[in-house]
């Protein structure tokens, strides 16, 4: 899986094992890895800080880490032969919404990043939550975010060479694969 553009999308629910799967794929790719952490590090939420720390401890120290960087096109342009692991798309979407962007603009930014990755011949692994399998949220904002995440997942899946769905730590290949 070395060299050449290749886009992988790893979907799953909370605590499904999707991040561990993506990290294993990145490590197995056989080259340098850039890890894009899409959660704002300065959060006041102690439980979320603990989750972020769990991810930090699990990553090899030689991986390049991008924190608090949100322009995927810039990151993919700077990849320089690295496998780029974006964990996770759902939090990236949330950040974009918090910046006041409307859904079409967010999806345009995402697609622009995907096009840069393809043009620069970068291998990218996206991790994203599948939010559409549960109950319909009662709050309008929650339904809107669930819908945005679903559209973003579909967008990435259209561009992806490989799509996997992780359940209980087991990966089910939905598209592509080996």
CATH of the domain at 19: 3.40.50.300
174 belongs to a structural domain: no
Of 113, 116, 125, nearest to 31 by C-alpha is 125
Is 176 contained in some domain? Answer: no
Contact indicator for 136, 143 with CB cutoff of 8 Å = yes
| Catalytic-residue membership of 6 | no
In the set 6, 55, 62, 159, the catalytic residue is: 55
* Residue 156 and residue 40 in contact, taking contact as beta carbons nearer than 8 Å: no
Q: Which pLDDT value is given to residue 44?
A: 74
How are strands ordered across the β-sheet holding 162-167?
64-67, 33-37, 83-87, 123-129, 6-12, 162-167, 170-175
Q: How many domains does the chain have?
A: 1
Residue-level pLDDT at 10: 98
pLDDT computed for residue 117 by the predictor: 95
> What's CA 127's distance to the chain center, in Å?
4
In a domain, residue 175? The reply is no
* Residue 83 maps to a domain: yes
The predicted model gives 117-134 an average pLDDT of: 93
Cβ neighbors of 88 (< 8 A, separation 6 or more) are 18, 19, 38, 126, 127, 128, 129
Q: Regarding beta strands 83-87 and 162-167, do their DSSP bridges make them parallel or antiparallel, or are they unpaired?
A: unpaired
Considering the domain boundaries, does residue 82 fall inside one? Answer: yes
Confidence of residue 2 (pLDDT cuts 50, 70, 90): very low
Tell whether 177 is covered by a domain. Answer: no
User: Token pair for residue 157?
Assistant: 């899946």
Q: Is residue 61 part of a domain?
A: yes
- Residue 148: give the domain boundaries: 6-166
**How confident is the model at residue 41, as a pLDDT?**
62
**Quick one: pLDDT at residue 57?**
78
Least confident range from 12-16, 67-71, 80-84: namely 67-71
pTM: 0.90
């Amino acid at each position: 899986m070395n060299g050449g553009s290749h886009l992988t999308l790893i979907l799953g629910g909370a605590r499904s094992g999707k991040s561990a799967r993506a990290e294993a794929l990145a490590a197995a790719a056989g080259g340098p890895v850039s890890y894009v952490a899409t959660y704002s590090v300065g959060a006041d939420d102690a439980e979320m800080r603990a989750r972020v720390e769990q991810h930090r401890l699990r990553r090899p120290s030689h991986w390049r880490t991008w924190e608090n960087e949100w322009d995927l096109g810039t990151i993919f342009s700077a990849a320089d032969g690295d496998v780029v692991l974006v964990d996770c798309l759902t939090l990236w979407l949330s950040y974009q919404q918090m910046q006041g962007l409307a859904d079409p603009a967010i999806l345009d930014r995402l697609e622009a990043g995907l096009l840069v990755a393809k043009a620069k011949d970068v291998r990218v692994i996206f991790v994203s939550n599948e939010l559409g399998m549960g109950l319909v949220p009662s709050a309008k904002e929650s339904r809107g975010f669930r819908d945005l995440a679903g559209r973003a997942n579909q967008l990435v899946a259209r561009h992806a060479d490989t799509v996997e769905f992780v359940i209980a730590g087991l990966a089910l290949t939905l598209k592509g694969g080996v």
